[in-house]
Structure 1
Amino acid sequence: MSNTDTITKAIPAQIAPMIRSVKFTDGVATIIADAGGLGRSAAAHLQKELEAAVGAVEGVSEVRVALMADKVKRRIIAVGSGKGGVGKSTLTANLAVALARLGRKVGVVDADIYGPSQVMLLDPARQRPKAEGNTLIPVESEFGVKLLSMAQLVEGGKAIAWRGPMVGQALTQMMEADWGDAELILVDLPPGTGDVQLTMLQKFKPAGAVIVSTPQDLALIDAARAMDLFRQSEIPVVGLVENMAGYICPHCGELSDPFGAGGAEVAAQAMGHDFLGRVPLHMAIRVSSDTGQPPAANDGEQGKAFIEIAAKLAAWLDASAA
């Protein structure tokens, strides 16, 4: 049996299908393995396993491992609003869950550094992310969505009183985490047009932005400012979502519009953007969100609006990638 055959047989069976070539010259074993789809941590583990197994073969003085990986074509969608309290985080979480149900590999960055809420929505167990060196490894929620949030990194209830540079550094660390095979990252931006938005636009260049507003004029004025920021940065606006659009009384069933009706759709048309859909103001959505069970995770009535919006976003992603 040749030295190459001996080395090949020493490779663990679970790794063998990933091996592309084995060479042995003057005591040096060179292994080329396919690490496509593996995250940074898993790839590092694969390399160590190969080095240990092959290094134990008699006559091998050095092991060189080359990992081949198809770079994940990862895209970023920013979810923004001009002001707080319009349901941006709830929309982000439910879009992520709905997209995962559609077969997309999705991650969420909770970029609302001062008021992170994605942990409550997607991972109420508050799992702490691991790290490989300085690289964070996102937590995976029960809904198949990877997540990083400041709420996972600081003590619960503790105020985050940071200045701009520290906020930018935190965002960068989350964005540059080991997202593995995630092909899409939804970024839950804080309200407004401040440091986080500027860092995101200048450093990470989202593929597009989804803007959330309630129907009333006051919210739409601020939503227009958010859209203008993306326009100035040459980031396409995927469309506008109208949240809290209509309230059905649980007692009499009557529909009322405490925040007005149709304002976001009119605004989208006036500014030349697509209208992605409406999400009603409903107690069931609030209760599900507070208990870490996004409505989009099931086929109930309250999840339909999120699933329909996610389907439009998925269609936009496919069309823009063509």
Structure 2
Amino acid sequence: MINFQYLRTTTSKSALSLISKDKNAKFLAGGTNLIDLMKRGVATPEKLIDINHVPLKQIELVGDTIIIGALASNTAVAEHPLIKEKLPLLAMALNAGASAQLRNVATVGGNMMQRTRCGYFYDTEMPCNKRQPGSGCGAIGGFNRMHAIFGTSEKCIAVHPSDMCVALIALDAIVVLANPKGERKILFKDFHRLAGDTPQLDNNLKADEMIIRLEISVNQLAKNFHYLKVRDRASYAFALVSVAAALEISADHKITEVRLSMGGVAHKPWRLTASENFLKGKEASATNFEEAAKLAMKDAKGFGENDFKIRMAPNSIIEALTVATSKA
């Protein structure tokens, strides 16, 4: 790890002022990903700006919108009565992530900003276009069991590792960003990027911006929901495939609203819009779930060792929908 300067700030205004003065500076919140990257020499910031004392830990209901501050810990969000009552899908996804110890210090904003866990990205001796643009993608033709089957490019097939973000994209969250001129809002589905020709860019956050909060409208999806995470071990493991499913079902068992998204399959949380559109207005049945799962797999492409995901993913979608529908 290189030597670095450590600064602490207590306001978002001063944090933005500091970050705008140094392109090699990074914000430090929980540090559960950034510190790992620094230890391995993948990230080499010359300055860390500790923002943990900035008052951005609120979890509250304002009108019909739930506000979650960027510095609220994953545990605080998952265990908050408001989240458990109104957004149980988010609570379930958060509790599926990492370990209890990490969730205690990891923050909402940090979770959104975490980098891929691709082994080639973490190994500075290996080629990785995300770490060093133009060096190549070691995962293509290499060890790619954990890698993407959707939205890939010739430059990168890495996946976004978050569980929380899979739920947030399904819940139509809005990200509020601060910059020196004020604030701007961006739909959560537009915050993260596909790799394309610029895999080094994980998201659309600008250099002079910071995440302030999330805004999530209260919905009617708190009864029939499920977050399914298929992984190699029961805890402290990233998803091979994950599915966030939430439905609103009428008295005659028709689907009036549905949200579906996946993790472990793309460079960003993957929303299953075609499957949602198919299911709306239809009966919540095994046949319709199977058809929705087939639609979800359009354009899926394996890279050898991750071909099994093309079979695992639709089965996971069916299971998540089935469990969500069966809840009383």
Per the shorter chain, which TM-score range? under 0.3
Name which one, 1 or 2, has greater alpha-carbon Rg: 1
Given the two structures, how large is their TM-score scaled by the length of structure 2? 0.25
Answer 1 or 2: which has greater helix percent.
Answer: 1
Given the two structures, how large is their TM-score scaled by the length of structure 1? 0.25
Bigger relative contact order (CA 8 A; separation at least 6): 1
